[in-house]
Chains A and B, each alone.
Chain A
Amino acid sequence: MSHLLDVENLWVKFPTRNGVFDAVRGISFSLGRERLGIVGESGSGKSMTGRAVLQLIRKPGRVEADRMEMNGTDLLGASDKAMRKIRGRHISMIMQDPKYSLNPVMTVGQQIIEALRTHEKVSQAEARKRALEMLDAVAIRDPERVMGLYPHEVSGGMGQRIMIAMMLIPNPEILIADEPTSALDVSVQLQVLEIMDKLVKDRGMGLIFISHDLNLVSKFCDRVVIMYAGRIVEVCEASKLHEAKHPYTQGLLNSVPDLVHPRPRLEVLTRDPAWREAPSVSALL
């Protein structure tokens, strides 16, 4: 199969004092050269799914699956050493919060250059030049100055753009973006997404876009997977998201305040316990 990523029956389990907690409960999906959106509320397991693919679930958490392959390479049995080669070079991840994901004691420039030189043999001067270009590509004005700044000296929005630059510079095939723009202003959000979108398209990358924002996802993805309580409740074409059938999806869509069509009250989700028990929908291609 030529899918970038195939995942079958993925479970993420955390043993606790009161038994095993299943954060992700047997989901299956594949990623082609497309933009796949994963949506759900906090706690629905969407971030855990992204982390599980990169084997970033910390002990005592466990990842189990029938199959997890990247371009035919097995990820499940990969050693730590092999995973280090895959992370960044083949699959990259943009984390939720730049404040906690950037190294506070390294300048922005050093971190981006490190990301590049870990995976590619390039001279310091060449790396610096490419880092500057990358910062420019993520719409950072005055990249020269920003290169010398420490993470605490940049705003949250700028930090996230730096993260994007850092993750894209080794040219990975798959990008997992975990709420990449939640910390950004609306006016830059679109811009950053367009940059990401363009880079993903130009390089023929696959994108997994994890977000709680249904509307955003519907605009920037080809396919959308809706998760609830560790399972996939619905898979649909992004363009047809508004025709979604599952009451959970509809509820999420209706709880967003709308500028143009005001309502006196916002709809509040009433959760049906049956949603939790329903079998996971397959998102395999």
Chain B
Amino acid sequence: MSAIDINALNVWFGEGDDRNHAVKNVSLKIAKGESFGLVGESGSGKSTVLRTLVGLVDDWDGRMEVDGKVLGRKRDGAFYKTVQMVFQDPYASLHPRMTVDQVLSEVLKLHGFKDVNDRVNRLLEQVGLGGGFRFRYPHQLSGGQRQRVAIARALASEPRILLLDEPTSALDVSVQAEILNLLTDLRAEFGLTYLMVSHDLGVIGHMCERIAVMQFGEIVEELDVENMRKLSAGHAYTQHLLESSLGSVR
């Protein structure tokens, strides 16, 4: 049984003439414990796949399964106990008027945990922030610290699957390294499954075992990281992506 099984997913935005076919016939299978990367340019639909999976998009058809359960139109609490998402921009994804403590406690209460106090402390420990950060507001934190809080919030419900939408693209390389290391450690510790979206092939290559390349809403190619490193992509677009990412890093 796969952790995530998406079959022939189509997503649309807008109505009438403006109706935009954002994701076309996308199928993905991600095994338990795997780390899977989704790459492509902005507008290729990679984030939309994630957003649809967590129920942030309504206009879709196809078949999506998580842990063997078919997803309907509405997601229930049990779904969010299994799947959580970390968003791109830590500056926008935390409520500016809620302290770290409030952010985490709210999520814990929603998931029906009783020992909220202990859990908040433990979560902060897990993401490498001490208890000193507990009563701070987002504006008192740096970008990297905010992203750690966002990761802590995602971990609060003890999910088995994390959807990571460009988790480090708003951060400095030095801070990116810390966050990527943290994600690597958390995955090893809790046996998490990652579905990660990024436009940075270096990051994807570091984090994932398999990748799918999207263009204009379609998956043009799936390949494993070995082939990616050897730059032996089958599709011209993938090859172009690989070359331009090497061009910019060298």
Contact residues of A with B, CB < 8 Å? 41-42, 155-157, 185-191, 193, 212-216, 219, 251-252, 255-260, 262-269
Q: Known contacts A155-B42, A266-B206; is A256 also within 8 Å of B199 by CB? A: no
Query: Is there contact, CB below 8 Å, between B177 and A266?
Result: yes
Which single residue of chain A is at the shortest CB-CB distance from B205? A259
Q: How far is the CA of A191 from the CA of B247 in the complex (A)?
A: 11
Residues of A within 8 A of B43 (CB): 155
Query: Is there contact, CB below 8 Å, between A186 and B245?
Result: yes
User: Is B61 at the interface (CB under 8 A from chain A)?
Assistant: no
Residues of B within 8 A of A267 (CB): 177
Query: Is there contact, CB below 8 Å, between B244 and A157?
Result: no
Write out, one digit per residue, whether chain B residues 210-250 have a CB within 8 A of any chain A CB (1) or not (0): 00000000000000010011000000000011101111111
**B140 smallest CB distance to A (angstroms):** 14
Give the contacting residue for A268; candidates B42, B177, B242, B246; CB below 8 A.
Answer: B177
Task: Give me 18 other A-B pairs in contact (C-beta within 8 A), A259-B206, A262-B225 excluded.
Answer: A41-B174, A155-B42, A155-B43, A186-B200, A187-B241, A188-B41, A189-B244, A190-B244, A193-B248, A212-B173, A252-B174, A257-B207, A258-B202, A258-B205, A259-B202, A265-B181, A265-B184, A268-B177
User: Is B180 at the interface (CB under 8 A from chain A)?
Assistant: yes
Q: How far is the CA of A244 from the CA of B241 in the complex (A)?
A: 29
Residues of B within 8 A of A252 (CB): 173-174
Q: How far is the CA of A79 from the CA of B174 in the complex (A)?
A: 40
Residues of A within 8 A of B229 (CB): 259-260, 262
User: Is B143 at the interface (CB under 8 A from chain A)?
Assistant: yes
Q: Which of A42, A157, A216 has the most CB of B within 10 A?
A: A42
Which single residue of chain A is at the shortest CB-CB distance from B242? A259
Give the contacting residue for B174; candidates A190, A257, A268; CB below 8 A.
Answer: A268
User: Is B30 at the interface (CB under 8 A from chain A)?
Assistant: no
Q: How far is the CA of A110 from the CA of B72 in the complex (A)?
A: 47
User: Is B54 at the interface (CB under 8 A from chain A)?
Assistant: no
Write out, one digit per residue, whether chain B residues 153-166 have a CB within 8 A of any chain A CB (1) or not (0): 00000000000000
Which single residue of chain A is at the shortest CB-CB distance from B39? A186
Residues of A within 8 A of B225 (CB): 262
> What number of B residues sit within 8 Å (CB to CB) of A?
35
Query: Is there contact, CB below 8 Å, between B177 and A262?
Result: no
Q: How far is the CA of A186 from the CA of B250 in the complex (A)?
A: 13
**A186 smallest CB distance to B (angstroms):** 5
Q: How far is the CA of A176 from the CA of B203 in the complex (A)?
A: 28
Q: Known contacts A185-B41, A266-B180; is A255 also within 8 Å of B241 by CB? A: no
Can you list 17 contacts pairing A with B, beta carbon distance less than 8 Å? A155-B42, A212-B173, A215-B248, A219-B248, A252-B173, A255-B176, A256-B177, A257-B176, A258-B249, A259-B205, A259-B206, A260-B246, A263-B206, A266-B180, A268-B177, A268-B181, A269-B177
User: Is B5 at the interface (CB under 8 A from chain A)?
Assistant: no
Which single residue of chain B is at the shortest CB-CB distance from A255? B177
Residues of A within 8 A of B249 (CB): 215-216, 256, 258-259
Write out, one digit per residue, whether chain B residues 189-209 have a CB within 8 A of any chain A CB (1) or not (0): 000000000011111011100
Q: How far is the CA of A187 from the CA of B200 in the complex (A)?
A: 10
**A187 smallest CB distance to B (angstroms):** 5
User: Is B172 at the interface (CB under 8 A from chain A)?
Assistant: yes
Query: Is there contact, CB below 8 Å, between A187 and B240?
Result: yes
**A229 smallest CB distance to B (angstroms):** 13
Q: Known contacts A185-B42, A262-B206, A262-B229; is A255 also within 8 Å of B173 by CB? A: yes
User: Is B34 at the interface (CB under 8 A from chain A)?
Assistant: no
Q: Which of A185, A186, A187, A269 has the most CB of B within 10 A?
A: A186
Q: Known contacts A186-B200, A190-B248, A252-B174; is A257 also within 8 Å of B42 by CB? A: no
Which single residue of chain A is at the shortest CB-CB distance from B229? A260
Query: Is there contact, CB below 8 Å, between A256 and B173?
Result: yes
Q: How far is the CA of A186 from the CA of B225 in the complex (A)?
A: 18
Residues of A within 8 A of B184 (CB): 264-265
Query: Is there contact, CB below 8 Å, between B245 and A257?
Result: no
User: Is B178 at the interface (CB under 8 A from chain A)?
Assistant: yes
**A240 smallest CB distance to B (angstroms):** 14
Residues of B within 8 A of A263 (CB): 206
**A48 smallest CB distance to B (angstroms):** 16
Q: How far is the CA of A256 from the CA of B181 in the complex (A)?
A: 12
Query: Is there contact, CB below 8 Å, between A266 and B181?
Result: yes
What are the 10 A-B residue pairs with the smallest beta carbon separation, nearest first?
Answer: A257-B206, A255-B177, A266-B177, A185-B41, A259-B205, A257-B202, A41-B172, A186-B245, A269-B174, A215-B249
Q: How far is the CA of A41 from the CA of B173 in the complex (A)?
A: 8
Residues of A within 8 A of B245 (CB): 186, 259
**B122 smallest CB distance to A (angstroms):** 23
Q: Known contacts A42-B143, A219-B250; is A259 also within 8 Å of B180 by CB? A: no
Query: Is there contact, CB below 8 Å, between B200 and A214?
Result: no
